[in-house]
Copies of this chain bind each other. A is one copy, B any other.
Amino acid sequence: MSFAQAMIQSHPQPALGNDTLIACIRACFDCAQACTACADACLGEADPKSLARCIRLNLDCADLCDATGRIVSRQTAFEPHMVTAALRACAISCRLCGDECERHAQHGMEHCRVCAEACRACEQACNALSGQLAA
């Protein structure tokens, strides 16, 4: 059992404690890490200038994934409008960053391929959770 799952299961007032939530928490933290590492890997390439848009979107996406991962980790006084606002911004950010990374992945940038995968997984996890909140 992961720490995230164990924390959800031991909460005194679980608002949402299900697999969709746990998957979203995990995907947000994984994507924050992958985007941080991808910005750094792009900066270490021979020509970071050609990767400036990728670096910038990586940094933005890391920041929104980080904020969203924290917000979905909270269950006390759960406020669907707040959570949904964060999830929507995070999904848009993952789509934009994932599209940019995919472009460089097609030219052989392996770190961009891995990061695009983390972005796609996070976009889907955020959409799945916000879909559930809207239902």
Q: Is the pair A86, B64 in contact by a Cβ cutoff of 8 Å?
A: yes
Q: Is the pair B7, A74 in contact by a Cβ cutoff of 8 Å?
A: no
Number of chain copies forming the complex: 4
Q: Is the pair A85, B93 in contact by a Cβ cutoff of 8 Å?
A: yes
A interface residues (Cβ-Cβ under 8 A, vs B): 2-4, 6-8, 10-13, 25, 29-34, 36-41, 43-49, 52-53, 55-57, 59-64, 66-67, 69-71, 73-77, 79, 81-82, 85-86, 88-89, 92-93, 96, 110-111, 113-115, 117-118
A57 → B minimal CB distance (Å): 6
The residues of B that contact A92 with a CB separation of less than 8 Å are 81-82, 85
Q: Is the pair A11, B41 in contact by a Cβ cutoff of 8 Å?
A: yes
If the complex has contacts A56-B40, A76-B56, A77-B53, are A67 and B64 also in contact, measured as CB distance less than 8 A?
yes
Q: Is the pair A45, B12 in contact by a Cβ cutoff of 8 Å?
A: yes
C-alpha spacing A6/B66, complex, angstroms? 20
